[in-house]
Homo-oligomer: A and B are copies of this chain.
Amino acid sequence: MAAPIDLAAALATFHEPWQPRTVAVLNEYDVRVVKTLGEFAWHSHPDTDELFLVVRGSLTIRMEAGDVTLGPGQLYVVPRGVRHQPVSSEGAEIVLIEPSVTVNTGDSPGELTAARRVL
């Protein structure tokens, strides 16, 4: 029997911010849930667009051409190669969709870099 993936339930299984969990795979893409809090690193993904969808809270994506702020039920696709910094002063729960090979910190590896982790 098939079971749905419940985003809120998946997000309730962990607490650490900026540590994505892959909850589903669509062809060669991952659906990842992430908790965000504070400032992430500025980075870009030279080879792929990246989709952000907010489930709860508020997330601002800082970009050089202008910021975008997302609330629940709102999404934004950061185009490949566009430098961005996700920021969430009060915390948010989000979904990321991107190729399974994508690393969270893109071209700027550092202490926030997370290994791919399947929930």
Output the least CB separation between A33 and chain B (Å). 10
Contacts of A23 in B (CB 8 A): 75
The secondary-structure label for the interface of chain A is strand
Contacts of A66 in B (CB 8 A): 1-2
When the two chains form the complex, which single residue of B8, B25, B67, B76 contacts A5, counting CB atoms closer than 8 Å? B76
Closest CB in chain B relative to A23 CB, distance in Å: 8
A-B contact pairs, 5 of them (CB 8 A): A5-B75, A6-B74, A7-B74, A27-B99, A31-B77
Residues of A within 8 A of B (CB): 1-8, 23-27, 29, 31, 48-51, 55, 61, 63, 65-71, 73-77, 80, 97-99
